[in-house]
Amino acid sequence: MPMKDFFIADAAQFDTQNITSFFCIATIGVRERKAGSGQYLALTLADKTGQFEARMWEDFAEAVQQCTEGSYVKVQGQVSKYQGKFQITLNKMRLAADSEIDTADFVPTTQFNVAKMNAELRGYVDAFSNPHLRALVLAFLDDPTIGPAFIVAPAAKRLHHAWIGGLLEHVLMLVRVCLATVPFYPEVDPDLLLTGAILHDVGKVRELSWRSSFNYTLEGQLIGHISIAQGLLHEKIAVLNAQAMKAAEEAGTAPELFPDRLRMLVEHMILAHHGKLEFGSPKLPMTPEAMLLSALDDLEAKFQTLRMEFATSKSAGKSAEETTDWVRSMDRNLFNSREYLASDK
């Protein structure tokens, strides 16, 4: 198996140089040139360290027929910088053979131990004082399909925690922040808040695909993770209630069903966790738990983006006195104040 010796994160070291390497196609499409002078092939290429844009100006008809999103390809081309970002102009591109590809080179993975993160998360759930909420969360984590996907899924296609294990990493960090914050807000029910923290993004196990690259499933495009999570919540509560009915019938006692008031509050957190209608939430946060969850979820995601942008700036050779490049998702440049203060010592 050939060794991949060029990674996108190292593009600055290869500026203006010709390279030959392997990538996964994240997006591909034929576009019109300006002034109607023909067409060109526009791609987004990816490996485990990131993504960059690629352009192929000539002889791309065969590549268009052979390659699709998710295809592994071998390319030759020149690395350059355009509008502050690295890209590659391709001379050649072909499908890569299976024997040429090590998928570990293409799918970014969490730096943390997944088994330890999962065990820590389950420890917090076991400590719930509310048996209904404990049973609900475990119904998701113990599900033979949802459970395994939950610990390996990315949290996003491209933004924060966009790597294998990213969803679990994001959820666990959010749970930790919630636990640290709860003592200052006596209006908040801790078990209810943590339930929302764990389940708010559970729909992403079906919204996203992550086999060869990160992308949206058809269900993800048509329905979205919030609505998917809402449906899963209803399914799990129905199963819990059916189990309670059966157990009560066998014991000759009254069934202890999942409280509908509790269901409504959990559902509200899921529906409202994006915080604003224009951000995709069908409801604004109205309860203490929903308000705190939305704020902390947004903060945790932003800080992960901040860490990534600082790392990108450092690898690009920027000094401590320079800001990051423009961060589109946050509509601003960022500045590493801690690095800046340390540089004066």
pLDDT digit string, tens, across residues 212-233:
678 889 999 999 999 999 999 9
Sorted by sequence, the CB contacts under 8 Å of residue 112 that are 6+ apart come out as 165, 169
* pLDDT range class, residue 2, cuts 50, 70, 90: low
Predicted local confidence at residue 111, as pLDDT? 87
In the prediction, which pLDDT does 46 show? 86
User: Between these two residues, 305 and 104, which has the higher pLDDT value?
Assistant: 305
Q: What is the mean pLDDT of residues 96-121?
A: 89
Mean pLDDT value across the chain? 91
C-alpha 202/C-alpha 204 separation (Å) is 5
On the question of pLDDT at 150 being above 90, the answer is yes
Confirm if 271 and 282 have CB atoms less than 8 A apart: yes
Q: Are strands 85-95 and 39-47 parallel, antiparallel or unpaired?
A: unpaired
pLDDT digits (tens, 9 = 90+) for 265-313: 999 999 999 988 888 789 999 999 999 999 999 999 899 889 888 987 8
Mean pLDDT of the region 252-266: 95
Q: What local confidence, expressed as pLDDT, does residue 212 receive?
A: 67
User: What's the rounded Cα separation, in Å, for the pair 337 and 209?
Assistant: 36
Distances (CA, A) of 177 to 113, 122, 182: 19, 16, 9
Q: What is the mean pLDDT of residues 106-116?
A: 89
* Of 178, 183, 170, 204, residue with least CA distance to 303: 170
Q: Sorting pLDDT into bands at 50, 70 and 90, what band is 159?
A: low
Mean pLDDT of 70-98: 90
> Residue 195 above 80 pLDDT?
yes
User: Residue 56 pairs with which residues in a beta bridge?
Assistant: 41
DSSP lists the bridge partners of residue 164 as 109
**pLDDT (mean) for 317-336:** 89
36 vs 338, higher pLDDT: 338
**Model confidence at 102: pLDDT above 70:** yes
pLDDT of residue 314: 82
CATH architecture of 8-105: Beta Barrel (2.40)
Query: Within a 10 A sphere around the Cβ of 93, how many other Cβ atoms?
Result: 27
Q: Indicate if the pLDDT at residue 36 is higher than 80.
A: no
- Mean of the pLDDT values across residues 240-255? 93
- Domain ranges in the chain? 8-105, 114-304
What is the sign, positive or negative, of the torsion defined by CA atoms of 177, 178, 184, 185?
Answer: positive
The residues that bridge with 91 in the sheet, in sequence order, are none
Q: Residue 316's Cα: distance from chain center in Å?
A: 24
- In which band, very low, low, confident or very high, does the pLDDT at 1 lie, cut at 50, 70 and 90? low
pLDDT at 286: 98
